[in-house]
C-alpha cells in the first residue's frame, strides 16, 4: 500500500483505506476510485496523504523529497515569525512547525531539493 502525498494523487487511483476528516469521519471510503471531486475534497479538508492500492515500487517513487538542511536553516526564522506566539517545545506544535517549515521551503524554492 503506497502512501502518496496529495500532489502525487491522480484521478483513477484506488484508495486502500478510508480517508477521514479531522473528527475521524470518513470523507471517502476505501475502494473508491479517485475523481476530480475527491481531489478537491481532500484539498479542502487538508488531507495531506492517502493510502492507495498499488505495488510497492510505486511507494519507492513516492518517497519524500529530501530538503537541503541549509535551506531549512535559511527559512527557519521566517517560519518562526509565524509561530511567534506558539510554544514550539510542545510535541504537537514542534511537529506542526517542522511540517510548516518543509512546506514553506518547498513553496519558496519551487520544490527544489
- Can you give the CATH number for the domain in which 55 is found? 3.90.105.10
Same domain, 104 and 75: yes
Helix 91-109 / helix 69-82 crossing angle, nearest 10 deg? 120
* pLDDT tens string 86-102: 998 998 898 899 989 98
Same domain, 75 and 36: no
Its domain, for residue 12, covers 3-61
Same domain, 15 and 48: yes
Per-residue pLDDT tens digits of the chain, which is 113 residues long: 678 888 888 899 999 999 888 778 888 999 999 999 999 888 888 888 888 998 655 444 545 567 888 999 999 999 999 999 999 899 889 889 998 998 899 888 876 54
Contact between residue 11 and residue 35 where contact means Cβ atoms under 8 Å apart: yes
Per the listing, cell 518562526 goes with 80
Question: Number of folded domains in the chain?
Answer: 2
Amino acid at each position: 500500500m503506497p502512501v502518496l502525498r496529495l500532489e502525487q494523487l491522480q484521478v483513477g487511483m484506488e484508495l486502500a483505506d478510508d480517508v477521514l476528516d479531522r473528527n475521524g469521519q470518513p470523507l471517502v471510503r476505501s475502494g473508491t476510485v479517485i475523481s476530480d471531486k475527491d481531489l478537491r475534497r481532500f484539498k479542502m479538508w487538508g488531507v495531506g496523504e492517502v493510502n492507495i492500492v498499488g505495488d510497492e515500487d510505486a511507494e519507492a517513487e513516492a518517497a519524500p523529497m529530501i530538503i537541503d538542511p541549509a535551506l531549512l536553516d535559511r527559512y527557519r526564522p521566517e517560519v518562526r515569525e509565524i509561530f511567534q506566539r506558539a510554544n514550539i517545545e510542545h510535541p504537537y506544535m514542534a511537529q506542526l512547525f517542522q511540517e510548516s517549515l518543509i512546506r514553506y521551503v518547498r513553496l519558496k524554492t519551487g520544490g527544489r531539493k
